[in-house]
Structure 1
Amino acid sequence: MWSERDMLDKRSVELHVEEIGGKHEKEPFSSRYRCGPLLGSGGFGSVFSGQRLSDGLQVAVKQICSDRVQHWTRLPGVLRPVPMEIALLQRLSEVGGHSSVIRMLDWFEVEGRGFLLVMERPPQSQDLFDFITERGALPERLALRFFRQIVEALQFVHAHGVVHRDIKDENIVVDTRTLEVKIIDFGSGAPLKESAYGEFEGTRVYSPPEWVQTRSYHAVPLSVWSLGVLLFDLVCGDIPFEHDQEIIEATPTFTRRVSKECQALIRWCLSYRPEDRPSLEDILSHPWMEGGEEEEEEPSSLPSVSL
């Protein structure tokens, strides 16, 4: 479920936590979970396969080194500060979660290892970067199916006071059997606020002109800009902008045949001025988004969806 671009040798790197226990749990991590080979590694830390011992559930274990954590916060009943990512994921979990947002099942602080986040691990999953790399530009109906789920998930995330700040193809995983998607990796996330943000730890080529030019942005216009980049990526097979000047010009050049309605939605999301961009509700009510509701295709009828 994690990007192959960050894959390391799974056979040679494993996480050993047998001798250390969780700080906030009566039972240590090793009493509740078994950790397996490395799945992927990057700036966020490392992700390992894992299994819950009580029922055999397959999980992903994300290890975060304390010295890589940029933002800390406190949780009720927890003495020491924890990474912001833990607090954000716990907040979303406590309100019931969302089918298109990855769920944190547990977390531990371990001596000398930093923090371990136990995440759900959807079966038969592939991130959208690899999905698009293998298949090329997606049919609009399939792109719409993915995009609607992502926008609705962001509505949920924002409604519960969280902003992701790194929406991109690598942070969306697809269940290749059901075509259901999940947003992953809240490591760049923050509490949602109405005022401007002056820091950004997301991905440069998904960042909006106002960040490139003024080092400042607001949560919703940032998210909508990133959605515009993502939708272009889905229907054209690659992102629209590679360099800062291209981001500032905010004029995508369509490299594939794309319907006028889809082009219009992408251009709206990629409006230069933040105040000219749609809201998430505007996106969901756009004619292109509504066009796919009546005749939703089944997974079996879509091309190249099984691995």
Structure 2
Amino acid sequence: MLKNKQRVRAANGSVKVMTSRGTKRKASIKPETLTRSQWLKATQTSMVQHAEKRLLPTTGHASLEFKYQQLEKIGEGGFGSVYAGYRKTDSFPNIKGRNHDVPLEALLMLQASCIKNADGKSAVVSLMDKYDFDQELVLVMEKPARSVDLFTYITRCRLGDLKENEAKNIMRQLVDAAIKMHAVNVFHRDLKPGNILLEATYGVPRVRVIDFGCSCFVTEEPYHDYTGTLSYAPPEFVLRGSYRAGPTTVWHLGAMLFELLAGSKQFDTLLFISKMLQLNRVLSQDCRDFLQMCLNCDPEQRATLVQVHQHPWLI
């Protein structure tokens, strides 16, 4: 990962640039008069403006304390601390992230949660409120009840590799979530078991995507600075120092499936491309084909998100 200060500067810079450009762009420009690159920039600007309107700051600690009850500290990351809590009116569980810098993370998470599933719910956790104080920013996010991160589920709850059908049910939701995020030009960049929650529901556990601290907008141009987890970085970045959104997301999906099926083995790109990390278990041919399509070391030959979504193993 990049150092935290570098990540914060990059995120803040993106917000400022896109907001200032958005105030100058004319709404009358028709999409068909723009190149794809210009259209993407216009779309990103519109999304930022729309998200910012929905995240109007509420000032004053009294307002925050009146609406939410803060509980114990449950974690700490590169951007700040995370606390458990609940909304006082209905005891709805939530988490508070305290931060000293305005992150692009909040806007992207809000945008990614806009597209709902058939049940009217989003695979991305909801951003409920933002409180902007002089020295800190408090983001209030949904905390799915009875949930556990996918890494803990694999290593502690199941104590080993998952059955193929169970892995398929989880992957089907992950692929769908990835496609929905890319549809609104959100590139998570750090999809891994630790950033996926499994919410206990009747039947199949529900997948929830968290932690947009490394996320950015999808662009046509390749990226050169990697801010995700290096052990999941795609081979093209490891070998050539550049990567693209679609192929990288597919690689991350393949890496997560590898861990779902491998149990105690944690994925590492360097070990995988050097053939020092292999999956030794009996799997259906469709499952093996799906995994190989996702983990093709050549990004040009790697499956696209659409091809992954339409693969027979998931149908």
**Aligned position for 1:3:** none
Distance (whole Å) between structure 1 residues aligned to residue 177 and residue 56 of structure 2: 31
Partner secondary structure for residue 227 of structure 1: helix
Distance (whole Å) between structure 1 residues aligned to residue 169 and residue 300 of structure 2: 27
* 1:164 is aligned to 2:188: yes
Partner secondary structure for residue 165 of structure 1: coil
Distance (whole Å) between structure 1 residues aligned to residue 149 and residue 73 of structure 2: 16
* 1:24 is aligned to 2:57: yes
**Aligned position for 2:285:** 260
8 Å Cα contact 1:250/1:272 also seen in 2: no
Judging by fraction of residues, say which structure has more helix: 2
* 1:205 is aligned to 2:231: yes
**Aligned position for 1:152:** 176
CA apart distance, 1:275: 1.1
Partner secondary structure for residue 256 of structure 1: coil
Distance (whole Å) between structure 2 residues aligned to residue 45 and residue 281 of structure 1: 36
* 1:90 is aligned to 2:110: yes
Distance (whole Å) between structure 2 residues aligned to residue 250 and residue 89 of structure 1: 36
Partner secondary structure for residue 214 of structure 2: coil
CA apart distance, 1:249: 3.6
The one-letter code matched in structure 1 to 2:140 is V
Q: TM-score, normalised by structure 1?
A: 0.76
CA apart distance, 1:231: 0.4
**Aligned position for 1:278:** 303
The one-letter code matched in structure 1 to 2:182 is H
* 1:106 is aligned to 2:126: no
Q: What RMSD, in angstroms, separates the aligned Cα atoms of the two structures?
A: 2.2
CA apart distance, 1:130: 0.4
Distance (whole Å) between structure 2 residues aligned to residue 288 and residue 222 of structure 1: 21
CA apart distance, 1:247: 4.3
**Aligned position for 2:29:** none
After superposition, residues 36-51 of structure 1 pair within 5 angstroms as 36-51=71-86
Distance (whole Å) between structure 1 residues aligned to residue 265 and residue 212 of structure 2: 21
The one-letter code matched in structure 2 to 1:36 is L
Distance (whole Å) between structure 1 residues aligned to residue 99 and residue 79 of structure 2: 7
CA apart distance, 1:176: 2.8
Deviations 1:136-182 (A, max 9, x none): 11111111111110110111111011000000000010013440110
Unpaired runs of 5+ in structure 2? 1-54
Distance (whole Å) between structure 2 residues aligned to residue 240 and residue 95 of structure 1: 31
Paired residues, number:
252
8 Å Cα contact 1:250/1:270 also seen in 2: no
Partner secondary structure for residue 143 of structure 1: helix
